[in-house]
Structure 1
């Protein structure tokens, strides 16, 4: 059931154990009023069956479940293989491009605090942050292009143009972008829709460490600036020069 994205929680599993025992006429001392096995039985079951454990599932949308299927993945793999053979591409010539969201409210890491203290907090800029889209591109050999930040704005501010391109972002794919790639011998291959959580290397291996590094820099910023809020204008991460670890 967990492989089908419909995993059972502890209570449902205990009720299932009761139903199985009743149907198979197995003698038991389960709770007949609640019609479920007890927590002690579940603890013993997990101890006997070490290949099963209680896990916290990752939220997965229906679009992602339907998009990441065998037919689509095999087609993508076939197209990628044909491109690599045709162009004889090396690792430093193959780039993964993907986007992620970075918030002005960082996710705090763990801190040291007194044992038994009821409330442990850390400073953040806002109650609710604003999200900026970050587009990254990295090759299999480790070469990466400096990230591009796309700011959500209805009213344009010249402050957002600093050290950036003058043009606005319109969409993921445009005729101009296609013609540029064609003129510069760049082949584009997209992963199947809603499958980046399984097929996109940046999504799987890079964005997590990147956000941890960003959160760490935000914490250091607050410790040195003393209650100065982080805005979208401060999010270009000028102090992060090394790769996220």
Structure 2
């Protein structure tokens, strides 16, 4: 229940009334917007930002998630906790404004472009370590030239849509997560989205074999992509792989 400026004004007015204090600069002993702005500036732990509205049921989902998140990694060392997520790149030329006859229902243009979408999967360990990246192209065939120039050990795959389907996720899990899990002793925790295609029988059985627990993020919590800052990867350790990509 965050406060609005109006709430802060009323709290201050109530406090002044209780302490029988009169501030001549305040109209009707209620501070104005400038006073609230300066109050926020004086207390650097506060900030005034645009908030997102969520339903009460959504808030309960988030609360349950953090309750589960607190319990699941209990007793698990930070080197055994991995968080992963994917993002997408597109070489689609993008939308442009064009001139159409008024009343046209579908404002479309025909334009050719190559692969369309490329999906990238990144996984980070809680103790400052990145696992090997995984790239999925939109294509019917995976060409050798597409494997060139990436970080050493990068894995590559393809799908019809360029998105991670069940087969791509399973390949990523077996070639990136399993080698990491083999080197770790004790229970492991994976924090991930709740996409159902990521839970194949093979993945579930392998998780049981290597004592891997899944912590599922609340629905619709990973669909707002942020720009990728490549400088983030500078100081982190990357796992090297002696096998072929």
TM range (shorter): 0.3 to 0.5
| Larger strand percent | 2
Higher RCO (CA 8 Å, separation ≥ 6 residues): 1
Q: Report the TM-score when normalising by structure 1.
A: 0.45
| Larger helix percent | 1
